[in-house]
Amino acid sequence: MRFDVAGHTDIGAVRKANEDSVDWYLSPSRETALAVVADGMGGHAGGAKASQMAIEVFVATLAMPLASKKLIDLERLRGALYTAAEQAHESICQARSEQPEYGKMGTTLVALWAQNHQASILHVGDSRCYRIRPQGQNTRMEQLTRDDSVVQSMVEDGTISAEEAELSPYRNMLTQAVGSDGGIIVHQMDVDVEPGDLYLLCSDGLYNELSSGDVLQILQAEGALIELTESEADQPEPNLKRISFKLAEAAKAAGGHDNISVILLRAVREGSE
């Protein structure tokens, strides 16, 4: 299996600074891909610093496996991702203690590492990872991550409905974040990858403005919901970059109340020219 990945981040229509950060990596062989999104909080400077620091430390901690020319054992990969998240958490906590002006900063973190026919997902906070598996009229967006938020807990215990959660004044309150006081619970999961699968990582600035139907409509219009062959994917990154930009622009046009970040990672069948 080979992969393509690209993304975009935008300040939105209301905020004065972009506190989101994104990064992605594609190996020269395109057999390994990494995507990471972080949504910072704690004031303009603090939020931006937290999200940037989280991603820089996270990716730097993964330097060895990223540089490897061989695919990594899944168990080792999960351990490496967990260690990277813990390192990011500790780095932000240390910065908070050493710099009082950043005392309230923290960030969400969602990451996906894809290799072969598998993907390993990690997240803390309410940035999300979705999977879109093209199935004609039955194509849908499947949310793979669970929000670490107050309203998510309220929905799960039956206090409010999912519809009420979307309008709740508590919808932006997190139950944990990278860099927050104390330890964090790092959520991890592994999923099978099929040719044509499209993974979407995003901050809440995207999903709070666009419904799943809105996103699928844009993906369909841009030709993203098809099973690509290797020959069709020789130069796919401009396409994914354009689609990421269009998704962010659509979210901004719908209100753009928050920073908007999105990364698209697509699986391509190997050797099907």
Q: Which regions of 42-134 does DSSP assign to beta strands (E)?
A: 106-107, 109-115, 118-124, 128-132
Q: What is the mean pLDDT of each run of 10 residues along the chain (273 residues)?
A: 96 97 96 98 90 98 89 93 98 95 96 96 99 90 96 92 86 93 95 95 98 96 72 54 98 98 91 43
CA distances from 184 to 59, 82, 123 (A): 19, 11, 11
**What are the tokens at 70?**
């061989």
pTM as predicted? 0.93
Residue 138 neighbours by CB distance under 10 Å: 7
Q: Are 208 and 254 in contact (CB under 8 A)?
A: no
Give the residue carrying structure tokens 């309203």. 151
pLDDT of residue 59: 98
Closest CA to 14 of 48, 52, 44, 59: 44
Domain range list for the chain: 2-268
Q: What fold, for 2-268?
A: Phosphatase 2c; domain 1 (3.60.40)
Answer positive or negative: Cα dihedral of 98, 102, 108, 109: negative
Q: How many Å apart are CA 21 and CA 49, to the nearest integer?
A: 9
